[in-house]
Structure 1
Amino acid sequence: MYREGTEIADRTCLMLTKDQFLDAALGHVPFDGWSEATMRATSEDLGMTEAEALALFPRGALDLALAYHRAGDAEMVARLKSADLNEMRFRDLIAAGVKFRLEVADKELVRKGIAFFALPQNAADGTAALWDTCDAIWNTLGDSSRDINWYTKRATLSAVYSSTVLFWLGDHSEGHAATWAFLDRRIDNVMQFEKVKAQARENKLVKAFMSGPGKIFETIKAPGSSDMHPNYPGRWAPNPTQDGEAE
């Protein structure tokens, strides 16, 4: 019991230290970007060795930048959960998620992040971070889709979110009014596309395709779906013999 309590305490301290390191690093990022220079300067500020800093962020600046992005996602989720959204249209709920995410972000830090994640070696992690943000918005708003719609919803929102971020970075209007108007237009475009999709489903040719070759789309499931094949990447199927059952 003592050992378990010590391990939990160590993990708690590690998380607190990560937060402290990130907070201290934010003052260096506008000048040095998400870089090893920022890692070194922050380590010196906190009296940490390079090894101690790497214990917190094994991939250095990459993990540091991702930590900032995830902290913003967490703040956005908290705002969505605490906001009174009961009377809002669904399109406005999506807009609120994007707006809340940008309101908790710092433009200069995001600008440095875009440059950092544009580097070939960081592009995959940057794309995954964008997807995670959109996934967090949909999940917080109660999305229950587990089929191909799980992917299309997040892919569509990723396009809306990324274009809005780029507009926001250059927006100097009061209260970012121009950005929110741009966001509304992008969501209107998506809603029009959804109407076209709904109309297409009623088309006889589309129905014929979906009842034939198109049935393959019914096999596409969201990650973690209970009816997915147990060997799907990212899923773990327990070995019955590990539970003491005879082979």
Structure 2
Amino acid sequence: MTDLPEDPTLDEIRDALIPLVARHAAFDGWRDAAVEMAAQEAGVDADIARLAFKGGAVAMIDTWFASIDRAMLEAVPAGRLATMPIRARIAALVEARLTLLKADREALRRATAILAMPRNMARAAALGWRAADAMWRAAGDAATDYNHYTKRATLAAVYAATLMTFMDDDSDDHAETRAFLARRIEGIMRFEKAKARLTGADGGERLSLARFVGRLRYPAI
């Protein structure tokens, strides 16, 4: 039976049941059947459980992904992250998420299929952004200018691609996924360095498009 206070709120019931819902969603789909099985396993009234997840499949998936966000931060605490270079922080955070999802890859596959439906694409993008934002914040990013948006958009795309690789990866310890992730993070770091060079954010001379074009026309001797 899941540990719950004597008179739990719907939020508390939702958070307590969602790992079990995900486990059952692998077989029953992201439907009421999964909620009912989770409620039975946890000793929660089925009607109350259905009320907690009244938003349907996408709401269930949203709750599950939010629980992964929280569990990720517990798995890779701030003190540990502080000792790592930035690329290692991002890699550790993504890998922590993969470890948390490892036992529920079929539920993840079903969730991804639901989020890929045209009517759910905006919600899917929002969930991807939220995951990327959680990772960048945990990694110590405090950007408030356009870098805030480009970093999250880039990481969201990398994370989504990594999940697609992960779902079909049967290599030992998901070695193929880890290698794929390492290559993509290297790409992010190269992009960030190039962007810093372009804008002068690295303390160096800012690249000037006019000067560059001028040199093409009148090359220095």
Normalised to the residue count of structure 1, the TM-score between the two structures is 0.70
**In the alignment, structure 1 residue 159 sits paired with structure 2 residue 157:** yes
The answer as to whether partners of 2:23 and 2:107 remain within 8 angstroms in 1 is no
Shift of 1:14: 2.7
Task: Give 1:179's match in structure 2, choosing from 173, 177, 180.
Answer: 177
Cα distance in structure 1, aligned partners of 2:173 and 2:70: 23
Cα distance in structure 2, aligned partners of 1:85 and 1:41: 37
The answer as to whether partners of 1:30 and 1:112 remain within 8 angstroms in 2 is yes
Q: What is the aligned partner in structure 2 of residue 67 from structure 1?
A: 63
Task: Give 1:129's match in structure 2, choosing from 127, 130, 137.
Answer: 127
Shift of 1:121: 2.4
Count of paired positions: 198
Task: Within 5 Å, give how 1:1-247 maps onto structure 2.
Answer: 12-39=8-35, 42=38, 46-49=44-47, 52-81=48-77, 84-105=80-101, 106-201=104-199, 202-205=206-209
Structure 1: tracts of 5 or more residues without a match: 1-7, 209-247
Shift of 1:183: 0.8
Structure 2: tracts of 5 or more residues without a match: 200-205, 213-221
Shift of 1:37: 4.0
Q: 1:191 to 1:82 in 2, by over 3 A?
A: closer
Q: What is the aligned partner in structure 1 of residue 217 from structure 2?
A: none
Cα distance in structure 1, aligned partners of 2:176 and 2:6: 47
Q: 1:82 to 1:196 in 2, by over 3 A?
A: closer
Normalised to the residue count of structure 2, the TM-score between the two structures is 0.78
Cα distance in structure 2, aligned partners of 1:206 and 1:164: 39
Shift of 1:118: 1.1
Identity %: 35
Provide Cα deviations, 1:162-202, integer angstroms capped at 9, x if missing partner.
Answer: 11111111111111122111111111112222233233332
Per the alignment, in what secondary structure is the counterpart of residue 104 of structure 1?
A: helix
The answer as to whether partners of 1:200 and 1:206 remain within 8 angstroms in 2 is no
Shift of 1:156: 0.9
Per the alignment, in what secondary structure is the counterpart of residue 200 of structure 1?
A: helix
Q: 1:200 to 1:16 in 2, by over 3 A?
A: closer
The answer as to whether partners of 2:75 and 2:96 remain within 8 angstroms in 1 is yes
Comparing 86-95 and 68-77, the one that deviates more: 86-95
Provide Cα deviations, 1:133-158, integer angstroms capped at 9, x if missing partner.
Answer: 11111111221111111111100111
Q: Supply the AA of the counterpart residue of 1:26.
A: A
Cα distance in structure 1, aligned partners of 2:136 and 2:179: 21
Q: Supply the AA of the counterpart residue of 2:27.
A: F
Shift of 1:43: 5.8
Q: 1:81 to 1:27 in 2, by over 3 A?
A: closer
Cα distance in structure 2, aligned partners of 1:61 and 1:195: 40
The answer as to whether partners of 1:39 and 1:61 remain within 8 angstroms in 2 is no
RMSD (Å), alpha carbons: 2.6
Cα distance in structure 1, aligned partners of 2:196 and 2:210: 11
The answer as to whether partners of 2:69 and 2:131 remain within 8 angstroms in 1 is yes
Cα distance in structure 2, aligned partners of 1:68 and 1:23: 7
